[in-house]
Amino acid sequence: MSKMNKNILRFLGLSVVCLVIGIAFTHFGDNEAYPQDNIRADLDRFVEVFAYVKRYYVEPVESDKLITGAIEGLLAKLDPHSVYIPKKSLEKVNEQFEGSFEGIGIEFIVLNKILTVVSPIPGGPSEAVGVLPGDQIVRIDGTSAYGITEDEVFKKLRGPKGSKVKVVISRTSLAEPFEVEIVRDKIPINSLYSAFMMDDGKTGYIWLARFAKTTSDELETALKDLRSQGMERLIFDLRSNSGGLLEQAVEVADKFIPAGQKLVYTRGRLSGADEDFFSSDAGDQPRMPMIVMISHGSASASEIVAGAIQDLDRGLVVGQTSFGKGLVQNQIGLKDGSALRLTVARYYTPSGRLIQRPYTDGLADYYAAGYDDEDTNAPAAADSGRTVYRTRAGRVVYGGGGITPDSTLKPERITRFTNGLFGSRIFFELGSKYGTALRGKYTNFAVFRAKYSVGEEIVPDLKELLKKNKIEFSEEAYKKDQVFIKAMVKAEVARSLWDSKHYYQVLRSEDPEVIAAEGLMPQAAAILKQGGW
């Protein structure tokens, strides 16, 4: 890696959070970056149209909206991932990659116009003053919080480290609301949502949700912890991970692959966009059998990691064909504080695969096809016209449309009725109710996970909540989805009693896809041996 590029931040991601490599345009040189086209005549034509619209359009129009629309239209003609980011949106877009923000440290929802705590963030200032899941924040600095919007929550509760905010909390178990003063602090945004040992005592499970500045360190900590608990094999879950920082993707892959192996490379029209990334063997992870889980929502950085693991026969890739985003963008800060993310290259997996899906049929079809549940790129579709490549050990893999899993797993399907329970916060409300009743009975999570189960007593409570929310109960849908519904409620109870980390552990340990993946470990061990690792 060149010295210059080591000092530049790189991003990968999906949609607005696009795959980005920080290659400064100044690196290309003026002659490369600005071809000698007749730009003046084209700009004159644009200025002429702009002037006519401003002067004669039936209603007054804002110049800023016209220019922004023109920029967005220009980029839309290029590819789905070259985008313009307005100044007001840039901070939020960048924040998730920075790995932290400053505030009081809560996950929240606005439930029936009331600001409700889903979970205090572990180690944050709200947890320190005793805020609990299910608490309702009814006043902020003396002003009622009823009817507050999500944007207003951010404005009122976030703030510089060391500043203070007074909130009044209503708690179900207490007769009267009470006031607490919270000192804002730096709050981490975790990349790693869950890491635990499966019931067999040998298989570790890790769910990585994004690639941000702290990802490699978080993963290293989780791996060491699981190894100390006896982990001999690993399920690495990248489902719905839409990407993040390129350098973190390389570091993550580097933890599992011995030194000297090409992990990913980029190629563009200009030489400054070309770069190769190799494993360094910086980590000390043993070469244990490994399964990588992907889905239609896995993109960019996730596909780099999955592609490297697959191409180098380091592990078994399972799930559904990934999204297929292999375009590289450069982020350029503009003078007004906004930013341009412009495609400058493509990236390739170790075997030479370009995994970018075609986008010639328009943006709507591009995204619809990416999330299509019909896995048309399954391994059996050898005659689909996709280019065939070979892994290190000679196994067939495909290019030109995402990472095709070695073994396809069908995602769990729930009815429209059950899906609607999420938007109505039904699972959260049931979990909070049962969690309040169980507080004090379960103090040990392992005991809770093993012994607590949600029974049919859920039905009358579910019907009552549905009636309150004017939703009709479906007996047929409930019977079909009752295992899923009960697992969701148990997970919400765990969050009510502990935090989101325990919520995800319950959810993933009872996930049918995770259980199915665990059963494929013998295949993962065979691939590891086949690859010569």
* Residues involved in catalysis: 300, 311, 325
> What's the CA angle centered on 128, arms 125 and 134, to 5 degrees?
90
What phi, psi does 162 have (nearest 5°)?
Answer: 95, -20
CA distances to 22, 209, 280 from 423, in Å = 38, 21, 45
- Give the separation between CA 419 and CA 300, rounded to whole angstroms: 27
Could you please report the per-residue DSSP string of 345-409? EEEE-TT--B-PPP-TT-HHHHHHHHT-SS-TT-TT-TTSSPPEEE-TT--EEE-SSSPPPSEE-
CA distances to 92, 293, 461 from 18, in Å = 14, 22, 43
- Give the separation between CA 215 and CA 217, rounded to whole angstroms: 6
The H or E element containing residue 195 is: strand 192-197
Question: Cβ–Cβ contacts within 10 Å for residue 269, how many?
Answer: 13
- CA-closest candidate to residue 468, choices 476, 480, 460: 460
Question: Cβ–Cβ contacts within 10 Å for residue 84, how many?
Answer: 22
Task: Check: CB of residue 504 under 8 Å from CB of residue 207.
Answer: yes
The pairing of strands 290-294 and 316-319 is: parallel
Strand partners, 83: 341
Could you please report the per-residue DSSP string of 280-315? ---S------EEEEE-TT--THHHHHHHHHHHTTSS
Task: Check: CB of residue 351 under 8 Å from CB of residue 262.
Answer: no
Provide CB contacts within 8 A for 118, sequence distance 6+.
Answer: 106, 107, 108, 109, 133, 428, 495, 500
- Give the separation between CA 246 and CA 161, rounded to whole angstroms: 29
CA distances to 361, 418, 461, 466, 482 from 475, in Å = 41, 11, 14, 13, 10
Provide CB contacts within 8 A for 446, sequence distance 6+.
Answer: none
